[in-house]
Amino acid sequence: MTRIMEARAMHKSYGQVKVLEDVSFDLEEGEAHVVIGPNGAGKTTLFRCLSGETRINSGSIMLNGQDVTGLAGWQRVQRGIGRSFQVARIFQDMSAFENLIVAIETRERSEKGLWASFGHIAPRRAVMDEAERLVHELGLEGTLDDPAGTLSHGDKKRLELAMSLALRPKVLMLDEPTAGMSPSDRSEAVRLISDVRARYGLTLLLTEHDMEVVFGLATRLTVLHHGAIIASGEPHKVRADARVREVYLGQH
Amino acid sequence: MIDYRVRFRTNLVIAACGLAAFAVVPFVANSGLLFLAGLVAINIVFGLSWNFLFSGVGLLSFGHAMFFAGGAYGMALITRHVPEMPFLLALVLGAACGGLIALVFGVVALRRASGVYFAVLTLAFSELIHILITKTTFLGRNDGLTGIPRPVIELGFGTLNLTSATAYYYFIIIAMTLVAVMMWCFQNAPAGRLLQAIRQDQMRTAFLGTPIQGWQLTAFVISGTVAAFCGAVMVPFTQIASPEIAYWTVSTQPILFTLLGGAGQFWGPAVGAILFGAIDYGTRTMHGLSEITVGVLLLAVVLIIPGGLLGLLKRRRAAASKSARSETAGERTSETEAGK
């Protein structure tokens, strides 16, 4: 296995508050790595640091063997990261279909250069076809023309996932992909994510609260507690870890 | 699904109708009204350039006068000092003046500020340019640069004489229509879609792999260039570049046009500019009444129809088509029931 992401000795603090302390984190190619931890453990901060939404105070982050510590989020995206947000971020006033078009055109722009889509007004045929394929893959057929802001919570999440997939990332980072979903939607989402992972050969990095989702998806589990990693490894081993049971799983 | 082709044709027809309406003016109106119509045509594109920034990218400019004046003074200087330069090239250089101002200002301001802070910076910088103009002898101080001639364009196979106000008026409306159509195309093309995405959610757009600031700067420069082009085209028409066009009241005009006509629609500023021109004309004999009327109208529009005039029209149409759709749906259900 190759190591696709490698973070070493990350420190992150907001003012006086230290959120991450000496965190080292690896992501192997092809794995589905889930980060769990109680509220305030630093999951989201870790997620933000790795994706480039915020810079770390010290430490280093490597992506595909390249140092990306000093790079902004959009530059890391161009190097193969796709991410979703805890509360789905989509372009509210555009139709769901246009959301996908924007995502695909953005990828083409990064791949082929600025002039790839120049000279056209309407999206090119290939872009439209690709958008339609994503629509079918993710089951967004019914909602194509509605303003994305009016979609249901679950559809917004699916649309955001589709937009991330349109970037053809190597690593897909999902921040609590099932937050706020009903139990039935949740199992549906888990099925969809593992489908997508298999089909695109993706490496996944997730944060999640729901244990069913965690053990449904994870091939590796990392437990964060007070800004430090206390366990990391195969899910069933982590589950059996005494310290983990104490701080986290034991509560359930 | 959006039919992009229909959308393009519809807007092309709108632009053509606008051009046709303006083309009739010289036949039915006196020279005073013709002059006003020419200024309205320029104001339309000036308004479009502002709204391109506001509704197209999500940047608020309180200083669009600096671009307009930049283009006007650039044009005036060229015609006075380099009279042998071809007219169209002079226009392009005039527009480039505004682009340059936008570039210099944008590089500094976009890195430092956003939202209201950015807007206040544009206001401050615009005032600075105004003061600079009034204090510089080279730029004519408070008197401005006067006596700008209208051009005679050499076409190779003949000459195009634009020295009369009517001939130059036709040049204005054709140039403005072309620029308006170009702006529509740009806003609806992939780059325009991306800018719209930036307006709606910067973070999401960044995490699709887009350098936000670079695109914002590009849009800012384009908007400044178009506004400056308007200023450059105006100068031979009025035959003067005066410091008033750099004053902050000029910056408020495209904002007024946009709010009156509707910020959410591409042609909103056009409707607003025409309405504004009509009010100006209707109240021309009573000093100050124009401002009062515009003020009251603006208040009414903002309070009663926040989407502007075109926004109201669109909502009416949406409501009508919705009720029509529910009627046909009702018929369909009764048919299926009868079928059972």
Complex-level ipTM: 0.92
On whether residue B175 sits in a domain, the answer given is yes
Confidence class for position B242, pLDDT limits 50, 70, 90:
very high
Structure tokens at B325: 């759709």
Q: Which of B8, B201, B210 sits opposite A89 (nearest CB)?
A: B201
pLDDT at A250: 57
What is the mean pLDDT of the segment spanning A128-156? Answer: 89
Q: What is the pLDDT of residue B337?
A: 42
Q: What is the torsional sign of CA A106, A108, A114, A116?
A: negative
User: 3-state DSSP call for residue B93?
Assistant: helix
What is the rounded radius of gyration, in angstroms, for the C-alpha atoms of chain A? 18
What distance separates the 2 farthest-apart alpha carbons in chain A?
62
Query: In chain B, which residues have their Cβ closer than 8 Å to the Cβ of A120?
Result: 189-190
User: Which string of b and e fits A151-178 if b means at least 16 CB within 10 Å?
Assistant: beebbbbbbbbbbbbbbebbbbbbbbbb
Q: Give pLDDT tens digits for A150-186.
A: 998 888 999 999 999 999 999 999 999 888 888 888 8
| Helix axes of A96-112 and A125-137: crossing angle, nearest 10 degrees | 120
pLDDT in the model for residue B338: 41
Nearest-5° Cα angle at B56, A48 to B268: 150
Most confident range (mean pLDDT) of B80-84, B172-176, B283-287 is: B172-176
pLDDT per residue as tens digits for the range A16-46? 889 999 999 999 999 999 999 888 888 899 9
What is chain B's mean pLDDT, rounded?
A: 90
pLDDT-derived band of residue B287, with 50, 70 and 90 as boundaries? Answer: confident
Pick the residue from chain A with its C-alpha nearest to B200.
A91
Across the interface, of B189, B208, B210, the residue whose CB is closest to A120 is: B189
Residue A60 phi, psi dihedral angles, 5° rounding? -145, 150
Domain count of chain B?
A: 1
User: Is residue B315 in a domain?
Assistant: no
Alpha helices for chain B (secondary structure H):
4-28, 31-54, 65-81, 87-112, 115-135, 165-188, 190-200, 202-206, 212-238, 248-261, 268-282, 289-304, 308-339
- Domain residue limits at B169: 4-252
SS3 B189: coil
Residues contacting B135, CB < 8 A, separation 6+:
B141
Domain containing residue B165: CATH number: 1.10.3470
> What b/e sequence results for B45-66 when a residue is b if at least 16 CB atoms lie within 10 Å of its CB, and e otherwise?
bbbbbbbbbbbbbbbbbbbbbb
Check pLDDT > 70 for residue B100: yes
Give A228's strand partners: A225
Is residue B260 situated within a structural domain? no
State mean pLDDT over B308-335: 71
- Judge whether A198 is closer than 8 Å to chain B, CB to CB: no
Tokens 């339309």 sit on residue = B44
DSSP letter for each residue of B101-159: HHHHHHHHHHHH--HHHHHHHHHHHHHHHHHHHHH-GGGTGGG-EE-PPPPEEE-SSSE
**Window 5-24 of B, Cβ < 8 Å to A:** 5, 8
Distance CA A41, CA B94 (A): 58
- Number of separate domains in chain A: 1
Nearest to B208 among A53, A122, A167 (CB): A167
Q: What residues are paired with A67 via a beta bridge?
A: A62
Burial status of residue B317 (CB atoms within 10 A of its CB: 0-12, 13-18, 19 or more): exposed
pLDDT in the model for residue A24: 92
CB contact under 8 A, A103 and B188: no
Contact between A210 and A188 (Cβ < 8 Å): no
Is residue A147 within 8 Å of residue A25, measured between CB atoms? no
Q: How far apart are CA A176 and CA A44, in angstroms?
A: 9
- Tell me: pLDDT of A232 over 60: yes
**Residue B21 identity (one-letter amino acid):** A
Stated length of chain A: 252
Residue among B111, B185, B203, B208 with most chain A CBs within 10 A, to mutate: B208
With vertex at residue B258, the alpha carbon angle to CA B255 and CA B264, rounded to the nearest 5 degrees, is 130
Across B82-119, b (16+ Cβ under 10 Å) vs e yields: eeeeebeebbebbbbbbbbbbbebbeebbeeebeeebb
Side chain identity at residue A221, one-letter code = L
Percent above pLDDT 70 for chain A: 98
Please tell me the distance from the alpha carbon of residue B286 to that of residue A196, in angstroms, as a whole number.
70
Beta strands in chain A (DSSP E): 3-14, 17-28, 32-36, 58-63, 66-67, 81-83, 171-175, 203-207, 220-225, 228-233
Band the pLDDT of B17: cuts 50, 70, 90.
very high
Which H or E run includes A49?
helix A43-51
- Residue B327, pLDDT > 90, answer no
Which band of pLDDT confidence, cut at 50, 70 and 90, is reported for residue B336? very low
Nearest CA in chain A to B204: A89
pLDDT in tens, A101-122: 999 999 999 888 877 777 788 8
- Spatial distance between the Cα atoms of B182 and B191, rounded to a whole number of angstroms: 13
Q: Of the given ranges (B225-229, B242-246, B327-331), which has the lowest mean pLDDT?
A: B327-331
Q: Are strands A81-83 and A171-175 parallel, antiparallel or unpaired?
A: parallel
Residue B61 to residues B170, B271, B277, B294, Cα–Cα distance (Å): 30, 20, 22, 21
The answer to whether B182 contacts chain A (CB < 8 Å) is no
Long-range contacts of B105-111 (CB under 8 A, 24+ apart): B105/B66, B105/B220, B106/B216, B106/B217, B106/B220, B106/B221, B106/B224, B107/B217, B110/B213, B110/B216, B110/B217, B110/B220, B111/B213
Give the number of other Cβ atoms within 10 Å of residue A3's Cβ: 12
Calpha distance A36→A24 (Å, rounded): 15
Q: How does residue A1 score in pLDDT terms, banded at 50, 70 and 90? A: low
Using the Cβ of B2 and the Cβ atoms of chain A, whether some distance falls under 8 Å is answered with yes
Token digits of residue A43:
């999951």
B179 Cβ neighbours under 8 A, 6+ residues apart: B45, B226, B229
Euclidean distance between CA atoms A179 and A4, whole angstroms? 26
Residue B116 · residue B225 · CB < 8 Å: no
Looking at residue B315, its pLDDT comes to 83
The verdict on a CB contact (< 8 Å) between B193 and A145 is: no
Q: Would the CB atoms of B209 and A106 count as touching at under 8 Å?
A: yes
Return the pLDDT at B339. 39
The domain of A29 spans 3-251
Which of B 196-215 lie inside 8 A of A, CB atoms? 196-197, 200-201, 203-212
Burial A43-62 (b: 16+ CB within 10 A, else e): bbbbbbbbbbbeebeebebb
Compare CB distances from A121 to B185, B197, B200 and report the shortest one's residue.
B185
* Domain containing residue A62: CATH number: 3.40.50.300
Average pLDDT, chain A: 89
Q: What was the pLDDT predicted at B340?
A: 39
What pLDDT does residue A202 have?
A: 93
pTM of this structure: 0.90
Nearby residues of B127 by Cβ (< 8 Å), 6 or more positions away: B63, B248
Q: Which of B188, B194, B210 sits opposite A74 (nearest CB)?
A: B210
